[in-house]
């Protein structure tokens, strides 16, 4: 069975492939469909963006589609960057530019107030069903990038209970 992951982000696709590795599903991504335009994340919620992408790509391909949107909510910044995490430093910002803007905004925030969470909504759409799942990982923002694993804000986010 083939499912299409509605992303061109190779890092994200790699993580999703690892999750599905033991399942009888052949995952494709938008790199396999160069004619499909990237869906603009115009929703104001993670759920809206995930559904927008999944529905649009399903309409164009007829394949079952998985799409997601993830936001980083920082308590000291009143939930910012939130749904705009991927473009926090601008529409074409790199991972590093987004991280640097976040760290600059939190420069004077004391350690005990650096709490944050990743919130994700994933949508699955096929010919007969639409499913949406959500998850949250609580943690905190470090003062500087730690390590070089992961992508996005991973180098400055530590899961609650870890060092």
Q: Which amino acids are annotated catalytic? A: 69
Alpha-carbon gap, residue 23 to 20, rounded angstroms:
5
CA distances from 21 to 24, 26, 54 (A): 8, 9, 21
Element of type H or E holding 105: helix 95-105
Q: Which two tokens stand for residue 11?
A: 């890092």
Contact 136, 117 (CB under 8 A): yes
CA torsion sign for 150, 156, 157, 158 is positive
């Amino acid at each position: 069975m083939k499912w299409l992951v509605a992303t061109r982000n190779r890092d994200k696709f790699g993580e999703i492939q690892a999750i599905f590795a033991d399942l009888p599903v052949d995952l494709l991504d938008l790199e396999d469909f160069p004619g499909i335009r990237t869906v603009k994340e115009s929703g104001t919620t993670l759920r809206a963006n995930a559904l927008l992408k999944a529905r649009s790509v399903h309409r164009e391909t007829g394949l079952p589609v998985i799409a997601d949107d993830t936001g980083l909510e920082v308590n000291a910044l009143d939930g910012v960057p939130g749904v705009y995490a991927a473009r926090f430093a601008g529409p074409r910002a790199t991972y590093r530019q987004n991280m640097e803007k976040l760290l600059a905004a939190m420069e004077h925030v004391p350690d005990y107030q650096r709490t944050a969470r990743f919130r994700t909504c994933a949508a699955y759409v096929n010919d007969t069903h639409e499913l949406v799942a959500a998850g949250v990982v609580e943690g905190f923002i470090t003062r500087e990038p730690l390590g070089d694993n992961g992508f996005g804000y991973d180098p400055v986010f530590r899961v609650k209970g870890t060092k």
